[in-house]
Structure 1
Amino acid sequence: MRNTLFIFDIDGTLTDSVPMYLESVTRSLAALGIANIDTDYNNYKHHTDSYALRYNYERNFNQGFHAGLLDDFENDLVYQMSRFDPVREIEGAKSLIQFFREQEVPFCFATGALPKPAMIKLDQCDIWYDQNLLSTSKTHESREGFVNDAIRKAKSYYGKKNFDQIVSIGDGLWDLKTAQNLSLDFVGVGDKNKQKLIAEGAKKCFTDLNEFKKTLV
């Protein structure tokens, strides 16, 4: 596995944070003065924070937003998250990351969230990360964009020109579609979307990360 790269989604894959975080996104959009918010997030063109802000801002105000607004959005997300209880890990997440570190298996993180909220969720679950291995929608609105960025960062971090295999690990259909679009292998996590993932072509799906880890040892 030492020349296999594992790319982890965060919300719903490593941290049990999806309902809380979507509510935080809605509250933060409202705090920026956006009255008519499309909360059907699962059907967005891009399942990312940066797209949620641009899409809702432009459809409300009929104009593009300035770059600083993304920073304001990110900072307000931190505030909104502080109003909720800390999130918990998806079963086996902390243990799997620690196992990869001990076995020197390359891994990185790719999330549709913005950097500060992403790190807060990992911190609350005591899951190890390095910011140099974290790619977010702060710089890439599309999932393909920040997943490719995660691969680039991982190559630099681990001193690799290439990986023999790249495995994307996620819980949502958007994670699967991104992996398919980039010709990456995919592992599904969680029972909520399991049947949908299988129907769309996922060949490996596990209830939690403890179950997935058993296939590696």
Structure 2
Amino acid sequence: MFDIDGTLTDSVPMYLMSVTKSLMAMGISDIDTDYNNYKHHTDSYALRYNYERNFKKTFQKELLDDFETNLVLQMSNFDPVKEIRGARNLIQFFKDRQVSFCFATGALPRPAILKLEQCDIWFDKKILATSKTHESREGFVLDAIERSKAFYNKEQFDNIVSVGDGIWDLKTAQNLSIDFVGIGDRNRSKLEANGAQNCFSDLKEFKEALF
């Protein structure tokens, strides 16, 4: 199970700026940009949390569509994102060898798909779980598992491995008793300090360790 931002695509700084500008475009002026310390590290939570703290009224889920459109628009102001080294090759390797995999991201669907397309990483919408329907990471990770069971016609999996770059990815895996692999050096020390036993600089290194 692959996270996208920072794991498959080198898109974290660009995407956080896009989130901030998209919130501003929706009339939200007082934005908490300390995204790493949010209760839920997801687009849907970022919108609801900032909307409700600004306007002092209940968030309407229909606003997610506008936010999603704004995110894609803001992303167009940046250069296309690049893959984390080895991402495209690893996904194709798993696909060719019929290894079951899926995508679980805190982003909304259209921005997530755009990032994968810009990096020419194969995907199928049927195995893409996002924060459009689940605000918590645990929610869309469980959704990704169910999507995978249907897509690969499996009643269950012998082992599930979450591959991510953030402490929130690790904590979610721990909460759900799922194995975890850390990707990237930016958060490596923090991941290892919190119990991550398998960390790699990129996906090329991860693949080499596997095979």
Range into which the TM-score falls when normalised by the shorter chain? over 0.9
Query: What secondary structure, in the 3-state scheme, does the structure 2 residue paired with 1:8 have?
Result: coil
Are positions 1:150 and 2:144 aligned together?
yes
Equivalent position of 1:62 in the other structure: 56
Q: Return the match for 1:189 from 174, 183, 188.
A: 183
Q: Over residues 174-214 of structure 1, what are the superposed CA-to-partner deviations in whole Å (9 max), with x where a residue is unaligned?
A: 00000000000000000011110000000000000000001
Equivalent position of 1:88 in the other structure: 82
Equivalent position of 1:4 in the other structure: none
Unaligned runs of 5+ in 2: none
Equivalent position of 2:2 in the other structure: 8
Q: Return the match for 1:23 from 2, 12, 17.
A: 17
Equivalent position of 2:160 in the other structure: 166
Equivalent position of 2:45 in the other structure: 51
Query: What secondary structure, in the 3-state scheme, does the structure 1 residue paired with 2:163 have?
Result: strand
- Considering only aligned residues, what root-mean-square deviation do their CA atoms show, in Å? 0.5
* Separation in structure 2 between the aligned mates of residue 179 and residue 207 of structure 1, nearest angstrom: 19
Question: What is the Cα deviation at residue 67 of structure 1?
Answer: 2.2
Number of aligned residue pairs = 211
Are positions 1:110 and 2:104 aligned together?
yes
Question: What is the Cα deviation at residue 65 of structure 1?
Answer: 2.0
Unaligned runs of 5+ in 1: 1-6
Equivalent position of 1:210 in the other structure: 204
Are positions 1:42 and 2:27 aligned together?
no
- Structure 2 residue identity aligned to 1:159: N
Query: What secondary structure, in the 3-state scheme, does the structure 2 residue paired with 1:187 have?
Result: strand
TM-score, normalised via structure 1 length: 0.97
Equivalent position of 1:76 in the other structure: 70
Query: What secondary structure, in the 3-state scheme, does the structure 2 residue paired with 1:202 have?
Result: coil
TM-score, normalised via structure 2 length: 0.99
Question: What is the Cα deviation at residue 64 of structure 1?
Answer: 1.2
Question: What is the Cα deviation at residue 216 of structure 1?
Answer: 2.0
- Over the matched positions of the two proteins, sequence identity in percent amounts to 71
* Separation in structure 2 between the aligned mates of residue 72 and residue 22 of structure 1, nearest angstrom: 17
Moved over 3 A (4+): none
- Structure 1 residue identity aligned to 2:14: M
